[in-house]
Amino acid sequence: MSRTPIAAGRHEVPRGLVVLAALAVFLFALHDWVPDAPGKLPNALLTVGAVALVLYAWSQFSPRGLSALLATWRYPFALAALLHGAAFATIAAFIPVSYTSLLGLWLNDGGSLRAGLLPYRDFVLEYPPLAAVLFWLPTYSGQGIEGYRLGFALTILVFDLLGVAVGLWALRRCAPEASPRGIILLQPLWLVWAGRNLVFEDFDLAPAVLLLLAIALLAAGRHHAAWAALGLGVVLKLYPVLLLPIFLMVAWQQRTRRQLATDIGAFLAAMLLPTLIVMRGHLLDVWAFVSYHLDRGLEVESTYAALLMIGHLITGSPIKDVSGHRAEEIAAPLAPLLSTVALPVTILALAAVYVLAWRMRHDWLSPARLFDSLVRLSTAALITFMITGKVLSPQYLLWLYPLVAVLGRRQGAVWALYGASVIFADWIYPNHWIEMISFTPHAIGVLVARNTILLVLLVLALWPQRSAPPLEGRLGPLQRFM
């Protein structure tokens, strides 16, 4: 046990005692992993309160309070592991799991791969090939849906902690004189409050972390590794490909043609090698994944569906919910037209973001400015794809989760708006899903509010700064307390 004291005046407390206290809180939180344990809500609330109490008690041994606590913690990642582990253990208590949930689909897909079946050829897989591996790994964690949920949650927790480590590393590199530890305390907030269904039934946090890793490596000048991380993200879930034009712009400005060729080679290798392994050489079968998504209709939560719902409320035009592609889609007289124009609209909107990125290229002279620009442009590209595409599933909000935590400007407003969008998404699915697909006015209002918040976040991400101050010195969401 470490005997290093935390000193402030006449007070001295061994650091090891505080670590043991925090560990005790974490072990207590693991009680909520037990299915159907009595008193889950009081235990969950007590867990969150106990973590806050430990932080508060420790901070009292310094006149600087929380600022000294964060500044003297020698291993911030250890604190993040405790808080995020407690958050995952706590939210497990709120989720009834069954074979009819998305986890049941992942269990079936992972079991099919484990049985030697080929994705796309022998069973339906609506994601790129590497996603099948993510579904396959938790099948070894135990029997039944409960064992699979434990393995799946631990897998996502590993990616979550990787995201924290990458965020801390990137912020420290871009702001070496700052103490960017606010990310540690704020990230679990939305997990505990409103992200419980997203975390335990979706894997979108994994490619989101790989996307943040690619951005951080690119800003740090590690181009080959950055392109490889981007390729892994694409073959896990396709959406990181939206950053490919921005990466090409950075390479065009900073790399020679030969270096650019090797960067693209690293990107292609990171995609092809996992695909060849999973598909056992049957690369052409992956086209089934592409055609699957091209055939999709307007998902109920998309912007186009919201417009049709508003028209239904105002004019009484007929609409109905239909099931298809493992989702709920909307059927209406104008739905085929809107579904057809969705792709061209998305391409034009993304092109506008890329044009803006090209005009910002002269601001990429330092790692700090490059990282800040990449985070903002990536956030803008992802939100643009969400609000202009014909599918907007609630798990898409996890794409923004790591990026919002390290966004270097308007941090308070961005975090509040992002939290509101997650809360609205949790309200829609699964809490009021029947009202949503029944097109009740209050459910439509919540959907419109959630999509409007995403539009505001897009504006905040792209809003220009007046004087463009350097990134150094920004402390993140907790700056006002330090």
59-71 in b/e burial notation, b at 16+ Cβ within 10 A? Answer: bebbeeebbbbbe
Higher pLDDT, 237 or 151: 237
Who contacts 398 (Cβ-Cβ below 8 Å, separation ≥6)? 195, 198, 199, 202, 204, 205, 208
Flag the least confident range among 103-112, 304-313, 386-395, 411-420: 411-420
* Nearest Cα to Cα of residue 26 among 93, 87, 108: 87
The whole-number average pLDDT for the span 56-83 is 55
Whether the pLDDT of residue 63 is over 50: the answer is: no
Flag the least confident range among 275-279, 290-294, 418-422: 290-294
Question: Which of 179-183, 349-353, 418-422, 457-461 has maximum average pLDDT?
Answer: 349-353
Whether the CB-CB separation of 145 and 190 falls below 8 Å is answered with: no
Phi-psi region of 297 (alpha: psi -120 to 50; beta: other; left: phi over 0): beta
What is the pLDDT at residue 193?
56
Alpha carbon distance 450, 347 (integer Å): 23
The whole-number average pLDDT for the span 392-410 is 83
Element holding 13 (H helix, E strand): strand 11-14
Q: Is 292 strand, coil or helix? A: helix
The whole-number average pLDDT for the span 287-312 is 87
For 64, list phi and psi in degrees, rounded to 5: -90, 0
Q: What is the pLDDT of residues 27-61, one digit of tens each?
A: 444 444 433 444 444 444 455 555 555 555 545 44
Angle at Cα 187 formed by Cα 184 and Cα 189, nearest 5°? 120
Sign of CA dihedral 56, 76, 84, 400: positive
**Whole-angstrom Cα Rg for the chain:** 23
Q: Longest C-alpha distance within the chain, in Å?
A: 76
Q: What is the pLDDT of residues 111-147, one digit of tens each?
A: 888 888 888 888 888 889 999 999 998 888 877 887 8
- How crowded is residue 190: how many other Cβ atoms within 10 Å of its Cβ? 25
Flag the least confident range among 112-116, 194-198, 255-259, 370-374: 194-198
Alpha carbon distance 124, 131 (integer Å): 12
Confidence of residue 271 (pLDDT cuts 50, 70, 90): very high
Within 13 Å and on the Cβ side, how many CA atoms surround 105? 14
- How crowded is residue 215: how many other Cβ atoms within 10 Å of its Cβ? 28
Residue with tokens 């950055």: 226
Q: What is the pLDDT of residues 339-370, one digit of tens each?
A: 999 999 999 999 999 999 999 888 887 888 88
Confidence of residue 178 (pLDDT cuts 50, 70, 90): very low
Per-chain mean pLDDT for the chain: 77
Predicted structure pTM score: 0.80
Residue with tokens 């079991």: 111
Residue with tokens 């643009």: 384
Q: Is 320 strand, coil or helix? A: strand
Encoded tokens for 426: 């949790």
23-39 in b/e burial notation, b at 16+ Cβ within 10 A? Answer: eebbebbebbbeeeeee
Flag the least confident range among 242-251, 328-337, 346-355: 328-337
* Nearest Cα to Cα of residue 267 among 279, 253, 284, 250: 250
Flag the least confident range among 25-39, 46-60, 179-193, 454-468: 25-39
